[in-house]
Amino acid sequence: MHNRFTITIHDVNGVKQFNLHQAVKKVIKYAIAGLFGFFLAGGALIVFLNSQVEAVQEKKETVESAYRELQQRNRSLHESISLAEQNLDAKKEELDVVTDRLNNIEALIGLTPSEEKTLAERVDIAHLTSEQMAALFHSIPNGSPVEYKGITSKFGYRVHPVLGSRELHRGSDLRADMNTPVYATANGVVEYSGNHKESGYGRLVILDHNYGFKSFFGHLKKIVVKSGQYVTKGELIAYSGNSGMSNGPHLHYEIRFVQRALNPFWFIKWNVENYRQIFEKEDKVPWQSLLTAIARDRNQPEAKPTTTPPSLPKELLSRAK
């Protein structure tokens, strides 16, 4: 009996008693202890798993946050790319416009576009040509020396109105009343100022300009500049008259390039709007080499033309027309 124990159960049906062996008691104790240990281990496992779930959740939130940030960066990158593409398209359009305008400028100034030159080089050349244009209009005679009212006798062969012989008229006779102001048509030095009876020019002014050009103003009434004086374009140099071999008041106007007479008409009409026209009309001047020389000197201070002796070489002076 020492190896047994009694379990008494009271219920509505009465009292029941069970006699069990001591081994069963130990089994029950061990089972209860095992269950307690199981529940304790389960609780610990649950706590551990909860901590792992929280860590995973934190990692998930970190990954999701990084993903959202990456998405935002990706959207920003796409927006930047889209904006860059739009800007690039706009720049391409601007470049096309600039190229078209550059082509027009090159055509205007008589340059042939070169595939070997970059756009920057072409723009630089066009910029130099703009400076050349300014240099040309300051250094080479252009415009009318008097208020333009027409030409009474053109450049070329004609019957001399006084002598009656057929001769080359080396200038243009500009319609001008007595004492009409006469202005320099380009910067230059007064090479000659005075009365030249032998040639028939009467009172005469010769201006020596840059690059081999000279301008002649004949049959003057009064001269207001002196030999060796430097004058600028638009400066008053004399008043028109009827001196010398002339049959009435007018201004005899000549332009010469290295001693060759040129038709003044094209220079009188020369301006920014028809800048290129003179290159086609006046072929006695090597314009390309002249432009090259001006481009080479564009950054140099404007040099005053060297004066020459005031006497007029007979081969340069023809009879006044």
pLDDT of the residue at 252: 94
- Does residue 305 surpass a pLDDT of 60? no
Average pLDDT over residues 32-43: 81
The pLDDT of residue 33: 80
How many angstroms separate the CA atoms of 16 and 298, rounded? Answer: 131
pLDDT band at 94 (very low <50, low <70, confident <90, very high): confident
300, burial (CB in 10 Å: exposed 0-12, middle 13-18, buried 19+) = exposed
Residues 219, 243 contacting (CB under 8 angstroms):
yes
DSSP tag of 212: G
Mean pLDDT, all residues of the chain: 80
Share of the chain above pLDDT 70, in %: 74
Q: What was the pLDDT predicted at 214?
A: 96
What is the pLDDT at residue 161? 59
pLDDT bin (cut points 50, 70, 90) of residue 162 is low
Distance CA 236, CA 234 (A): 7
Q: Is 153 left (phi over 0), alpha (psi -120 to 50) or beta?
A: beta
Identify whether the C-beta of residue 247 lies closer than 8 Å to the C-beta of residue 235: no
In this structure, which amino acid lies at residue 30? Y
Q: Token pair of 146, please?
A: 């008097």
Q: Predicted confidence band at 291 (pLDDT cuts at 50, 70, 90)?
A: confident
Strands 172-174 and 181-183: unpaired
Higher pLDDT, 84 or 118: 84
Question: Mean per-residue pLDDT for 132-148?
Answer: 89
C-alpha pair distances (Å), 280 with each of 275, 286, 288: 10, 11, 12
CB 190 within 8 A of CB 215: no
* pLDDT tens per residue, range 196-230: 888 889 999 999 999 999 999 999 999 999 999 99
- Each residue of 39-70: b (16+ CB within 10 Å) or e? eeeeeeeeeeeeeeeeeeeeeeeeeeeeeeee
| Better-scored residue on pLDDT, 252 or 55 | 252
Helix axes 22-108, 119-139, angle to 10 degrees: 30
Higher-pLDDT residue of 103 and 46 is: 46
Q: Which residue type occupies 142? A: N
The pLDDT value given to residue 321 = 42
Which architecture, in CATH terms, is 139-296? Distorted Sandwich (2.70)
Q: From the centroid of its chain, how far is CA 54? A: 66
CA–CA gap between residue 241 and residue 146 (Å, rounded): 12
**269 phi and psi angles, rounded to 5 deg:** -90, 0
pLDDT for the residue 119: 72
> How does residue 18 score in pLDDT terms, banded at 50, 70 and 90?
low
Handedness of CA 8, 10, 11, 14 (dihedral sign): positive
Q: Give the single-character DSSP code of 234.
A: T
Inter-residue contact 199 to 217 (CB < 8 Å): no
Q: How far apart are CA 277 and CA 266, in angstroms?
A: 8
Most confident of 114-128, 151-165, 183-197: 183-197
The CA distance from 262 to 284, in Å, is 8
Given a cut of 90, is residue 174 above it in pLDDT? yes
Phi, psi of 12 (to 5 degrees): -70, -20
| Mean local confidence (pLDDT), 301-306 | 46
Residue 310 has pLDDT above 50, yes or no: no
Angle between helix 287-296 and 119-139 (nearest 10)? 100
Q: Which two tokens stand for residue 46?
A: 């649950």
